[in-house]
Amino acid sequence: MAGYTIYHNPRCSKSRQTLALLEEKGISPDVILYLQTPPDAATLKRLVQQLGLTHPLEMVRNKEAEYRSAGLQADSSAADVIDAMVQYPKLIERPIVVHGKRAVFGRPPENVLTLLD
């Protein structure tokens, strides 16, 4: 099956499990190592929409040290959050799997099954 993309961190067990689940289902997704090739602001805004989120803060790992370094808080603006994720890609929740106009977090990995054709 074509047309799948995973924003992947190979050091993350959930990310590895999600990729393995896709491969089990015969899917060879485009793999974006987002820590090495961070998404730009436009891509992050599109991912927020595809994930069905109301605010980009919902895709931020708020326990990371970079969360504090970026000065993020619960009331941070969407623009500030997007800028922080561009500057600190480690803040991006992982993995994210995209297919067509939809995306899901691979937490738990079985979430990706909702994207299968």
| Residues taking part in catalysis | 12
What is the distance of C-alpha 2 from the center of its chain?
19
Question: What does the angle CA 48 – CA 50 – CA 54 come to, to the nearest 5 degrees?
Answer: 45
| Class of residue 50 by CB neighbours under 10 A (exposed 0-12, middle 13-18, buried 19+) | middle
- The residues with which 30 forms a beta bridge, in sequence order, are 5
